[in-house]
């Protein structure tokens, strides 16, 4: 099949490059031409383990086009993978979705063959039928299901594990209002043996939000229990190990720490809160998830202050990415923590294996270390991201406040505090 990918960020680049590996022809398009340039030069546009090798292997099947209309005309399927960030009030910012829908409408208007549009971007229930479809119909002057179709295919990949997740999904969700519309997608996924669920478009859109909201609930619940455990002198890691053995609960994603960040959980829970209120339901649990998450990073700084006055001290930061194995710093817990340290008069020396370049854009004035070892030469160290290399450092004689349960630090530091243990 010939497939165009709109948006070459974390989701678009993984989706396109991995689909090429299944044997299909891919055309990437993006308003950010720097990303397209990188792909043209055989380089991945985002950091994602394993992706570079798959791009190199499939380079002949992958091209880019800065003219999105040509990309539509020359393909049978288009994947929408553009960003859907939060607006100020927490609702979904649909500007990229609207603009890509207009382009798709224009392209489909110029096409003779049937075109299938697959929405991978996370969109609030109703967005496809009430926003995307009307725009495409208006721009193209064509009829849905006669000339083109739109299906929902929410994405569940985890940054840092995205290539594995693409090839080994837990399940594939397809939202479609007619069996005809999702046939090309079924064909595309025919080699995957995981469960495939076909449902209505609106239900598929909702499944993605509920999925993320539930995982975020698990984390905030673990953090609240973790805070109780910390004050009571109980190791919450041991508690969750025991509780997670209950098959109804499961141990995965059941860990306390400094809360969730990233480009998905915070904005998706916020958007679900706004949607919930719109349909007349007061979302008490959803709001509590965000409140707990908001307070969690400041606990790390409070624990540090139990050991020193921060004014004039240099505090080392290990980890800036919102999770290991990614350079994504969107809503990273390092951001509020560093802001608080600076407000308290401390100097900051930070290190991350891959995310420092992105972080420098928002914090150009803090100091960055060239190695993780350099960070240990500070007055105290805060561990923010659980990169595996932090397990190999020598924390002897150091003061360490740990947000991620790094065993070596826990064992060897002179003064050690875990945020929830």
Active site residues: 264
CA torsion 317-323-325-328 (nearest 10°) is -90
- Percentages helix, strand, coil for the chain (3-state, rounded to 5) are 45, 15, 40
Asked if 39 interacts with ligand NAD (CB under 6 A), we say: no
Nearest CB to ligand NAD, comparing residues 46 and 376:
46
Q: How far is the CB of 96 from ligand NAD (least distance, A)?
A: 4
Provide the token pair at 281. 């339901």
Q: How far is the CB of 27 from ligand NAD (least distance, A)?
A: 12
Tell me which DSSP letter residue 339 carries: H
Distance CA 92, CA 86 (A): 5
Asked if 181 interacts with ligand NAD (CB under 6 A), we say: no
Nearest CB to ligand NAD, comparing residues 158 and 307:
158
Q: Considering only 6-14, 142-150, 298-306, 335-343, which stretch makes contact with ligand NAD by CB under 6 A?
A: 6-14
CA nearest to 392, candidates 420, 350, 353, 337: 353
Nearest CB to ligand NAD, comparing residues 12 and 336:
12
Asked if 99 interacts with ligand NAD (CB under 6 A), we say: yes
Q: How far is the CB of 124 from ligand NAD (least distance, A)?
A: 10
Asked if 38 interacts with ligand NAD (CB under 6 A), we say: no
Binding mask 68-97 for ligand NAD (x = CB under 6 A): -------------xxxx-----------x-
Interaction with ligand NAD in 350-379: which residues (CB under 6 A)?
Answer: none
Q: How far is the CB of 363 from ligand NAD (least distance, A)?
A: 20
HEC string for 186-241: HHHCCCCCCCEEEECHHHHHHHHHHHHHHHHHHHHHHHHHHHHHHHHCCCHHHHHH
For 79, list phi and psi in degrees, rounded to 5.
-100, 125
Interaction with ligand NAD in 103-122: which residues (CB under 6 A)?
Answer: 120-122
Q: Considering only 24-32, 291-299, 313-321, 392-400, which stretch makes contact with ligand NAD by CB under 6 A?
A: 24-32
Asked if 227 interacts with ligand NAD (CB under 6 A), we say: no
Distance CA 121, CA 389 (A): 33
Asked if 265 interacts with ligand NAD (CB under 6 A), we say: no
Give DSSP secondary structure letters for 34-63: HHHHHHHTT--SS--TTHHHHHHHHGGGEE
Q: How far is the CB of 94 from ligand NAD (least distance, A)?
A: 10
Query: In the complex, which residue's CB is closest to ligand NAD?
Result: 9
Distance CA 355, CA 334 (A): 11
Q: Considering only 5-13, 176-184, 309-317, 334-342, which stretch makes contact with ligand NAD by CB under 6 A?
A: 5-13
| 3 CA to centre of own chain | 23
- Whether residue 16 contacts residue 35, with contact meaning beta carbons closer than 8 Å, is answered with no
Asked if 331 interacts with ligand NAD (CB under 6 A), we say: no
Give DSSP secondary structure letters for 322-333: SSTT----TT-T
Determine the straight-line distance between the first and last CA of the chain, rounded to whole angstroms.
Answer: 52
Distance CA 287, CA 386 (A): 27
Nearest CB to ligand NAD, comparing residues 378 and 385:
385
Q: How far is the CB of 120 from ligand NAD (least distance, A)?
A: 6
Residues contributing to the site for ligand NAD (CB under 6 A): 6-12, 29-32, 35, 81-84, 96, 99-100, 120-122, 155, 157, 159, 263-264
């Amino acid at each position: 099949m010939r497939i165009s990918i709109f948006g070459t960020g974390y989701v678009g680049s993984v989706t396109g490059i991995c689909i090429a590996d299944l044997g299909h022809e891919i055309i990437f398009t993006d308003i950010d031409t720097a990303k397209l340039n990188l792909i043209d030069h055989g380089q991945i546009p985002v950091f994602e383990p394993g992706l570079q090798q798959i791009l190199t292997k499939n380079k002949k099947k992958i091209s880019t086009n800065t003219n999105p209309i040509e990309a539509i005309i020359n393909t049978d399927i288009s994947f929408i993978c553009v960003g859907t960030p939060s607006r100020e009030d927490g609702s979904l910012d649909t500007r990229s979705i609207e603009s890509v829908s207009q382009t798709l409408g224009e392209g489909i208007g110029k096409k003779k063959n049937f075109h299938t549009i697959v929405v991978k971007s996370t969109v609030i229930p109703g967005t496809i039928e009430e926003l995307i479809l009307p725009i495409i119909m208006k721009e193209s002057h064509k009829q849905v299901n006669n000339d083109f179709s739109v299906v929902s295919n929410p994405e569940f990949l985890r940054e840092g594990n995205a290539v594995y997740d693409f090839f080994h999904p837990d399940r594939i969700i397809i939202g479609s209002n007619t069996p005809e519309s999702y046939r090309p997608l079924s064909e595309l996924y025919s080699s995957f043996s995981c469960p495939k669920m076909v449902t209505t478009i609106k239900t598929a859109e909702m499944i993605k939000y509920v999925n993320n909201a539930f995982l975020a609930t698990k984390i905030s619940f673990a953090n609240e229990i973790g805070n109780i455990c910390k004050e009571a002198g109980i190791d919450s890691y041991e508690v969750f190990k025991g509780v997670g053995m209950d098959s109804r609960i499961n141990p995965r994603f059941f860990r306390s720490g400094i809360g969730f960040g990233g480009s998905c959980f915070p904005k998706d829970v916020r958007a679900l809160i706004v949607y919930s209120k719109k349909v007349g339901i007061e979302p008490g649990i959803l709001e509590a998830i965000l409140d707990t998450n908001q307070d969690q990073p400041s606990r790390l700084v409070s624990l540090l202050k139990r050991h020193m006055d921060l004014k004039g001290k240099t505090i080392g930061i290990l980890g800036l990415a919102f999770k290991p194995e990614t350079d994504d710093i969107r809503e990273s817990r390092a951001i509020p923590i560093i802001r608080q340290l600076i407000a308290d008069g401390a100097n900051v020396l930070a290190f991350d294996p891959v995310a420092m370049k992105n972080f420098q854009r928002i914090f150009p004035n803090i100091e960055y270390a060239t190695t993780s070892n350099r960070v240990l030469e500070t007055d105290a160290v805060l561990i923010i991201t659980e990169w595996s290399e932090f397990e190999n450092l020598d924390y002897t004689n150091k003061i360490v406040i740990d947000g991620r349960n790094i065993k070596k630090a826990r064992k060897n530091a002179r003064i050690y505090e875990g945020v929830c243990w």
